[in-house]
Amino acid sequence: MQKNLAVGLVGFGYAGQTFHAPLIAATAGLDLRFVASSQTQLVTDRYPQAAVLPNPMALINDPLVDLVVLATPNASHYPLACEALDAGKHVVVDKPFTLTLAQAKELALRAQVSGKVLSIFHNRRWDADFLGLKALLASGRLGEVTQFESQFDRYRPQTRDRWRESAEPGSGLWFDLGPHLIDQTLQLFGPPQAVFADLQMRRAGAQAVDDFHVLLRYPTMRVKLSASCLVSGGAPRYVLHGSLASFSKQGLDVQETQLKAGLLPDAAGFGLDPVPGLLHHSVNDQTQSEEIVMPLGQYAAYYAAVRDAALGVGKNPVTPFEGVMIMQLLEAAQQSAETGAWVKMESFNG
């Protein structure tokens, strides 16, 4: 029998507490053995089997660690991932992969040279509504897709004193939610031809992007990605228009809320989306709607796939190459917002 992989988690803030630690602990074959955090008592209370180390390098250089998980501020992803790969560890990096396209390309090359698994935590590939959306597209019931809208809004009118809302590189909504929306779009439709973006700071006192609207051009369709901190309810999470039907889905995936409440993936009802999607089609010039029940959300599938990839019996669920593509789009959108022009993606390849 293959021994369990010893996992070292760097960072025990929101992402580490809510997503990574619970999902790692719930995955057979993974042992959460080490946590690098200043919150020693909190870690010990929740995961008494884990040794708390004083800093990231102590964890990365520990010979017992097989897999390093980086749930740290965005600016630290690149340097810490470099150190972990150089130390011969498998690595999971929370999104965004890096701060720049150049960093993403270098990390991808380092991972290739090292022979170790380097994966990016794009958990929203396993949202219940996204899994339902993929299945509906595969069924052909929409026909040829002409427009896809992906909107992820929040109502947080007051700015907060935290790094995600600071003026430092990699902060703001575009680097927080943008990678998720881009990744899901690439999974559905592949890379676009060009990007046009409006990235704004709309709240009083805002230091980072808190509202974005981004268009992606494809040969026969258009994609609209948007998010804002000043929208409260009402807007669908997804809208798809096709030659045979349209689809809309309200609400957000429940897994984040469930994990925050202490539920684990093996709990009854975990990942169950209570809001069905609606398929709209016309019959005799009358619009009819059909409820589409979503499959279960499957966040736990990510770490199970990472485990299998590290053991050499499965594929990396989110590859460095995919991370590079996402960074291409993040940077292209920033250039478009600065110039007010469409940016062709060909100039970012290579």
Q: What is the pLDDT of residues 46-62, one digit of tens each?
A: 999 999 998 999 999 99
Residues 287 and 226 in one domain: yes
Task: Decide which of 99, 121, 143 is a domain's last residue.
Answer: 121
pLDDT at 284: 66
Let me know whether 131 and 117 are in one domain.
no
Query: Which residue carries 């169950």 as its tokens?
Result: 272
1 pLDDT higher than 80: no
102 within a domain of the structure (yes/no) = yes
Indicate whether 101 and 170 sit together in one domain.
no
**174 falls within a domain:** yes
The beta strand positions in the chain, using DSSP E, are 5-10, 30-36, 51-53, 67-70, 90-94, 118-121, 145-153, 194-200, 211-217, 222-228, 238-242, 246-249, 277-283, 286-292, 343-344
Same domain, 246 and 162: yes
In the prediction, which pLDDT does 283 show? 67
pLDDT, one tens digit per residue, over 291-345 is 999 999 999 999 999 999 999 999 999 999 999 999 999 999 999 999 999 999 9
Within a domain: residue 288?
A: yes
Is residue 348 over pLDDT 60?
A: no
CATH code assigned at 80: 3.40.50.720
Cα separation, 14 vs 184, in Å, equals 22
Say which CATH number the domain at 132 has. 3.30.360.10
pLDDT band of 232, cuts 50, 70, 90 = confident
Examine the fold and report which residue of 64, 91, 121 is the final residue of a domain before the chain moves on. Answer: 121
* pLDDT attached to residue 275: 96
pLDDT tens per residue, range 137-192: 999 999 999 999 999 988 899 998 887 888 888 889 999 999 999 999 999 999 99
Please give the pLDDT value at position 165. 85
Based on the fold, state whether residues 140 and 217 are members of the same structural domain: yes
Say if residue 182 is in the same domain as residue 88: no
Distance of alpha carbon 128 from the chain centroid: 14
Q: Examine the domain organization and report whether 91 and 139 are in the same domain.
A: no
Long-range contacts of 237-240 (CB under 8 A, 24+ apart): 237/129, 237/150, 237/151, 237/152, 238/129, 238/130, 238/133, 238/148, 238/149, 238/150, 238/151, 238/277, 239/147, 239/148, 239/149, 239/151, 240/133, 240/136, 240/137, 240/142, 240/145, 240/147, 240/148, 240/149
Domain for residue 41, yes or no?
Answer: yes
pLDDT over 70 (residue 349): no
Do residues 164 and 225 both lie within one domain?
A: yes
The rounded mean pLDDT for the chain is 95
253 and 297 Cβ atoms separated by less than 8 Å = yes
Residues 94 and 30 in one domain: yes
Instruction: Flag whether pLDDT at 350 surpasses 50.
Output: no
User: In this structure, are 256 and 147 located in the same domain?
Assistant: yes
Number of domains in the chain: 2
- Domain contains 317: no
Residue 107 lies in domain: 5-121
180 and 85 within one domain: no
